[in-house]
Amino acid sequence: MTLKRAIIHVDMDAYFASVEELDHPEYCGHPVIVGGLGPRGVVAAANYAARKFGIHSAMPIGQARRLCSTGIYCQPNMSRYRELSTRIFSIFQQFTPLVEGLSLDEAFLDVTASRKILGDIETIGHSIKSRVFEQTGLVASVGMAKNKFLAKLASDFRKPDGFYRVPDDAHVFLDPMPVGRLWGVGPKTARRINRAGILTVGQLRKADIHLIKSVLGANGAHLQALARGEDERDVISTRTEKSISHEQTFDLDLRDDREMLAILQKLSEQVSRRLRKKNYCAGVIHLKVRSRQFQTSTRQVSLVETTDSGKAIYAVVKTLLKRWLQLNPGTAVRLLGVGSSKLETKKPPEFSGSTKPGIESVLDEINDKFGEQTVSPTLGKLSKT
Ligand SMILES: [Mg+2]
């Protein structure tokens, strides 16, 4: 018995065109078309007023102009679209660390674990929609379901300004749809299925598996599972953050390896704390050493198992430093750094089966309340010398 997941798909309405309307209020109410304006340009986005003329994305711009000569045609302003996209995605992050971006204006959010704190999936979906509007002035369509496939169909269902949750009995929602709406079914495959007398998702769901396999081959069982509304794929978070590191430069160069190790221990704790705060585990740990002569060495180790533990990180950098010191005996050190990369989002505790917070997250809470380094699992109280 697997846990019922809560997946949200957010898709901004006519994104590029809506940003142009936002930045040019005088465009509102007019057909707005964003795209390459040269002779070989194509439409990148069209607002709903323009779509009434039959204009859609990927259409040659010349054809669009013939369909709607009175429209407002704009060159894409990608840096502006990216800027607003960053803002929108940071709103998503307020609801869950599990955000999978599909493009500048579209993402999946796994809010399964967030429900404990933020309310049911519709409450969360509604908060996302209104927060995006309040903070950007842009309208998002929101689809909610138990998996990615259904959530994506749901956001499209009542677009623009859509808000739809797929009912627990997904068949009511899915059955009437044409088979072409299933992921992986292009026009060619759709025609092949139609020729076998199957027009709707409901018909595909109920069809005999042998018939389906004779029409679709090995892919048949997979498509029939989609037709039943089944999709087990996880939301894979796509993050811009590539690494987390801390380093310290010393007023007086260090020569004593015990002092160096104490610093590494502190830096490891800081890195580990930030990893846990962001719900990451690291796959690679780095050590950085800069000598008095400004020669910088970096050493790294790939871990067999990813970690967010300060102890584990310290164990790695300690070994790396000892090796470095053997090769560079007596070197005065002016900087030490501890880094982590190949970051992965940790699954929420609900998925890993444990609900007890680890000792290190409890320590994080204490340090958050009373200040950095109030308690440390490895050092006890820091002694000042
Ligand atoms: Mg969109």
Could you tell me which of 343, 233, 281, 344 has the C-alpha nearest to residue 9?
Answer: 233
* Cα distance between residue 301 and residue 362, in whole Å: 28
Q: Which tokens hold the place of 252? A: 């007086």
- Residue ranges of the chain that CATH labels 3.30.1490.100: 243-370
* Cα distance between residue 66 and residue 285, in whole Å: 58
The confidence score (pLDDT) of residue 365 equals: 55
The confidence score (pLDDT) of residue 384 equals: 35
pTM: 0.64
Assign 371 to helix, strand or coil: coil
* Cα distance between residue 128 and residue 114, in whole Å: 13
Return phi, psi of residue 174, to 5°. -85, -40
Could you tell me which of 24, 55, 21 has the C-alpha nearest to residue 41?
Answer: 55
Within 10 A of 46 (CB to CB), how many other CB atoms are there?
A: 26
Cα of 369 from ligand 1 centre, angstroms: 41
- Residue ranges of the chain that CATH labels 3.30.70.270: 1-166
* Cα distance between residue 40 and residue 61, in whole Å: 7
The confidence score (pLDDT) of residue 324 equals: 94
Of the options 1.10.3720.10, 3.20.20.70, 3.40.50.1980, 1.10.150.20, the CATH number for the domain spanning 171-227: 1.10.150.20
Within 10 A of 263 (CB to CB), how many other CB atoms are there?
A: 19
Cα of 16 from ligand 1 centre, angstroms: 9
Q: Which tokens hold the place of 108? A: 């999946």
Q: Which tokens hold the place of 107? A: 């993402």
Q: Is 253 exposed, middle or buried (0-12, 13-18, 19+ CB in 10 A)?
A: middle
For domain 1-166, the CATH superfamily is: Reverse transcriptase/Diguanylate cyclase domain (3.30.70.270)
Cα of 106 from ligand 1 centre, angstroms: 6
The confidence score (pLDDT) of residue 13 equals: 97
Cα of 156 from ligand 1 centre, angstroms: 9
Catalytic residues: 106
* Cα distance between residue 342 and residue 241, in whole Å: 10
The confidence score (pLDDT) of residue 218 equals: 84
**Mean pLDDT for each 10-residue chunk of the chain (385 residues)?**
84 97 96 91 94 94 96 93 92 94 92 95 98 98 97 96 96 96 91 95 95 90 94 80 86 92 97 90 93 88 90 96 93 94 66 46 58 48 36
Cα of 73 from ligand 1 centre, angstroms: 19
**CATH number belonging to domain 243-370:** 3.30.1490.100
Return phi, psi of residue 115, to 5°. -60, -30
- Residue ranges of the chain that CATH labels 1.10.150.20: 171-227
List, in sequence order, the alpha helices (H) in the chain. 15-23, 48-51, 61-67, 78-93, 115-118, 121-136, 148-157, 171-174, 187-195, 201-206, 209-216, 220-227, 257-277, 310-327, 349-352, 359-370
Cα of 197 from ligand 1 centre, angstroms: 33
Cα of 13 from ligand 1 centre, angstroms: 5
* Cα distance between residue 322 and residue 340, in whole Å: 19
Q: Is 372 exposed, middle or buried (0-12, 13-18, 19+ CB in 10 A)?
A: exposed
The confidence score (pLDDT) of residue 379 equals: 40
